[in-house]
Amino acid sequence: MAELTQASLQDILSDFLKTFRDRSGVLKYRERISQIPPSGAKSLLVDFDDLSFFNVDVAEKLCREPDETLAAFNRAAYEALRVENATYAERIRNELTVRIRGLPTRVELRRITTEYLDQLISVAGMVVRTSELRPLAVKAAWRCRKGGHITMIEQKGLILQKPRRCQECDEAKEFELDPKKTEFVDYQVIRIQELPEELPAGQLPQTTDVSLIGDLVNKARPGDRVIVTGILRAEPETAQAGVKFRLFRSRLDGNNVETLGETPEKIQITKEDEEIIKSIASQTAAYERLISSVAPSIYGYETQKEAILLQIVGAPQRVLEDGTTLRGDINVLLIGDPGTAKSEMLKYVARVAPRALYTSGRGSTAAGLTAAVVREKTGMMMLEAGAVVLADQGLACIDEFDKMRPEDRSALHECMEQQTCSVAKGGIVATLNARTAILAALNPTFGKYDPHHNLTDNVNLPIPLLTRFDLIFVLRDLPERSGDERVARHILETHRKGAFATPPPISIDLLRKYIIYAKRINPTLTPEAEEKLLEYYLKMRSVGDAAMITITPRQLESLIRLATARARLMLRDKVNEEDALRAISLMERMLSTASVDVRTGKVDFGVLHGKPLSERTLLETALEVFKSLTGAEQKPVDGKAFIDELIKTGKFKREDAERMLQILHRSGQIYEVKPGYFRKAV
């Protein structure tokens, strides 16, 4: 095709646009061109397969010599549009672009080498940064200072090119830019990174910058998964003095950007897979078999594995007419003694979930988890997505949750309930999607979980963040001969075999396909399921004393999510009574460990809100005693006398009384006027 001239190439491409018919016999591109003026579009989308079918040599030339071929394509599109609407064609003549979609081969980001320079390639990745929008000069108008004549210079690259001399004065070499007569287009830079599920173990993710011009700007946001078609360029690195290095950096000139759907593209489910998946769901003990297939290298923890399986599948997000969204993602917190396989559980979930990211709290900041605004060398402000935004429509596993700084951890409040991430930094105000389920793990404050203290005393987490978790599990490491022997034998057998001690009923690859297939189903509640959930909710609301904190509507929503996720897992489009009962059972198993008041031994939801009923009763008693010691004259109270009086009530031991004095002082309800003496805050 080397002998093909620009004119003959344009003729072939014009012929393609005018005569190509799809399978139904419709003139595909004639129809698309006719839609450009009414829609106000400035580009024409062409499927590569169509061009390849029409003329394979031209299609090959497009990949090999994209600059010449696309220039001819743009002219052919303009001529075709001029026939449809001459006025509109003239108006967008310099902006009309042909965009290519569906190149047959996709190059991996880490496989982009110099052999692809100046060729049209297609890459898949995740958008991690987007810059602000800026005008880019495509044709600069230079005014001669001597005679005032205008010289138009076409611009290429990022450095503004001046004319050598004025075309009219011939000798004049001093020019100033005339911004009003200069032609500009919208310009944006995005940075794409390898997809987490395609990243080789132990490797740093590769990134590349993509330049977007015209109607491609703002097509992708941080966190979006995209396929970018573009021409690979090499740009020289430049020192501050303007000296150019031998070292170049690669960049893509974006021709087309497609946003991928919710389902990961890498895993394809065939008809045979679908039949196997349906046969698994139809078996009698299907639910138990699925739970047994989760983290087979870890012995026991059936309740936690059930919760994690339901979390991976999740419930569909509901969007109401007024735009209100009902969260479908389930958040789970694991609190456990050292050596209870929490990290291994999180690593497994990051491997099996279709879309998941693993991060550790020690090396994570608020910006790293949510979003950050960074300034590039060029001076452009870029919005960079964090882990929770990148895991949108997936799952974020956060290990060592207790090691994070409180101000970093507080950034998750909005993400966990509203499922958005708002940024207002460096002049960029944006709200990014963070429809992400969070699986967090942490160690207790005292190293090991203290059964003599309530949950909130064992974890160093703020109450508002704690209540955003749908399920909270405490993993205790209690020495017990028969249980220890079973765990030890399981570990020893795994090491001896170099494989699972007990092979899982469903392999990890099939389980991943099963989860992807299940996530396509959107179950709805049946009246029977609604009745069971309502009955349990009302029962829990009426438990105990009137002053006791009971479950809230937030827990009812958690129950709905769990029941819906189980129906999804069983491949049903209706949530039945059994699903509701299993969700209630899971919630009760959680409450029986995490929400028990250690003083009374009873389930009290106030434990998760920081103050169980027994503690609030003691607090009221302490304040009454303090008030009586203060007397009418409002004299300061001796701390030792206050402790003695608390012990006399019979409700406090000495250590409890001393602790109560500290609680009142720390919470600001009393203050120290002189050493050992306290007065009540007004």
Counting every residue, how long is the chain? 682
Question: Does a structural domain hold residue 454?
Answer: yes
Top-confidence residue, 354 or 533: 533
In this predicted model, what pLDDT tens digit does every residue of 463-498 receive, in sequence order? 777 878 888 888 877 777 877 777 788 788 778 877
Question: Does a structural domain hold residue 554?
Answer: no
Say what the pLDDT of residue 402 is: 77
Which 8-state DSSP code applies to residue 635?
Answer: P
Q: Mark whether 278 and 395 lie in a shared domain.
A: yes
For the ranges 158-162, 182-186, 338-342, 614-618, the lowest mean pLDDT is seen at 614-618
Gap between the Cα atoms of 329 and 342, Å rounded: 20
Map tokens 């011009």 to a residue: 213
| Domain end among 204, 228, 259 | 259
Which residue, among 197, 215, 195, has the nearest Cα to 97 in the 3D structure?
215
Question: Does a structural domain hold residue 564?
Answer: no
Q: Mark whether 434 and 285 lie in a shared domain.
A: yes
Gap between the Cα atoms of 118 and 66, Å rounded: 7
Top-confidence residue, 676 or 315: 315
Question: Does a structural domain hold residue 535?
Answer: no
pLDDT, mean of residues 344-367: 76
| Domain end among 521, 544, 571 | 521
Which residue, among 537, 601, 128, 178, has the nearest Cα to 372 in the 3D structure?
128
Q: Mark whether 497 and 350 lie in a shared domain.
A: yes
The CATH number for 248's domain is 2.40.50.140
Tell me how far CA of residue 157 lies from CA of 103, 161, 239, 485, in angstroms. 25, 9, 17, 69
Say what the pLDDT of residue 449 is: 75
Say what the pLDDT of residue 264 is: 46
Q: Mark whether 92 and 177 lie in a shared domain.
A: no
In this predicted model, what pLDDT tens digit does every residue of 226-241 receive, in sequence order? 889 998 888 777 655 5
Total structural domains in the chain? 4
Which residue, among 227, 245, 225, 229, has the nearest Cα to 116 in the 3D structure?
229
Q: Mark whether 147 and 127 lie in a shared domain.
A: yes
Q: Mark whether 249 and 310 lie in a shared domain.
A: no
pLDDT, mean of residues 155-169: 76
Q: Mark whether 497 and 618 lie in a shared domain.
A: no
Q: DSSP for 427-483, please give it.
A: TEEEEEE---EEEEEE--TTSS--TTS-HHHHS---HHHHTT-SEEEEE-----HHH
Say what the pLDDT of residue 379 is: 66
Question: Does a structural domain hold residue 132?
Answer: yes
Mark 568-600 as b/e (b = at least 16 C-beta within 10 Å): bbbbbeebbbbbbbbbbebbebbbebbbbbbbe
Say what the pLDDT of residue 1 is: 43
Here the tokens at position 316 are 């569909």
The CATH number for 309's domain is 3.40.50.300
Question: Does a structural domain hold residue 565?
Answer: no
The CATH number for 17's domain is 3.30.1640.10
E strand or H helix at 48: helix 48-54
Gap between the Cα atoms of 642 and 632, Å rounded: 17
Say what the pLDDT of residue 243 is: 63
Top-confidence residue, 243 or 161: 161
Gap between the Cα atoms of 423 and 432, Å rounded: 8
pLDDT of 87 over the 80 cut: yes
Non-local CB neighbours of 257 within 8 Å, separated by 6+ positions: 210, 212, 216, 219, 220, 226, 227, 228, 229
In this predicted model, what pLDDT tens digit does every residue of 8-30 receive, in sequence order? 888 888 888 888 888 888 888 88
Q: Mark whether 302 and 403 lie in a shared domain.
A: yes
675: containing domain: 612-680
Q: Mark whether 118 and 243 lie in a shared domain.
A: yes
Q: Quote the strand ranges of 284-328, DSSP E.
A: 318-319, 325-326
Q: Mark whether 443 and 494 lie in a shared domain.
A: yes
- The whole-model pTM stands at 0.67
pLDDT, mean of residues 671-675: 74
Here the tokens at position 252 are 């893509």
N-term to C-term CA, the chain: 90
Gap between the Cα atoms of 596 and 607, Å rounded: 7
In this predicted model, what pLDDT tens digit does every residue of 261-295 receive, in sequence order? 544 445 667 778 778 888 877 878 888 888 888 88
Here the tokens at position 194 are 């390898």
Say what the pLDDT of residue 590 is: 79
Say what the pLDDT of residue 294 is: 81
Say what the pLDDT of residue 238 is: 64
Question: Does a structural domain hold residue 362?
Answer: yes
Say what the pLDDT of residue 263 is: 45
Contact in structure between 327 and 557 (CB atoms under 8 Å): yes
Here the tokens at position 57 are 């040599």
pLDDT of 540 over the 70 cut: yes
Gap between the Cα atoms of 20 and 221, Å rounded: 34
Say what the pLDDT of residue 610 is: 53
Average pLDDT, the chain: 78
The CATH number for 621's domain is 1.10.10.10
At residue 126's C-alpha, the angle toward residues 122 and 127, to 5°, is: 100
In this predicted model, what pLDDT tens digit does every residue of 393-407 receive, in sequence order? 778 888 887 777 777
Say what the pLDDT of residue 547 is: 45
pLDDT of 209 over the 70 cut: yes
| Domain end among 195, 224, 259 | 259
Grouping H, G, I as helix, E, B as strand and the rest as coil, residue 419 is: coil
Torsion of CA 667, 668, 674, 677, to 10 degrees: -70
Q: Mark whether 512 and 629 lie in a shared domain.
A: no
Say what the pLDDT of residue 145 is: 76
For the ranges 89-93, 121-125, 577-581, 618-622, the lowest mean pLDDT is seen at 618-622
pLDDT, mean of residues 155-162: 76
Q: Mark whether 132 and 95 lie in a shared domain.
A: no
Say what the pLDDT of residue 546 is: 47
pLDDT of 98 over the 50 cut: yes
Say what the pLDDT of residue 598 is: 53
Non-local CB neighbours of 557 within 8 Å, separated by 6+ positions: 326, 327
In this predicted model, what pLDDT tens digit does every residue of 586-624 receive, in sequence order? 888 877 776 665 555 555 555 565 555 555 566 667 777
Say what the pLDDT of residue 262 is: 46
How many helices (H) and strands (E) the chain has is answered by 25, 26
Question: Does a structural domain hold residue 312?
Answer: yes
pLDDT of 330 over the 80 cut: yes
Q: DSSP for 207-255, please give it.
A: EEEEEEEGGGTTS--TT-EEEEEEEEEEEEEE-TTSPEEEEEEEEEEEE
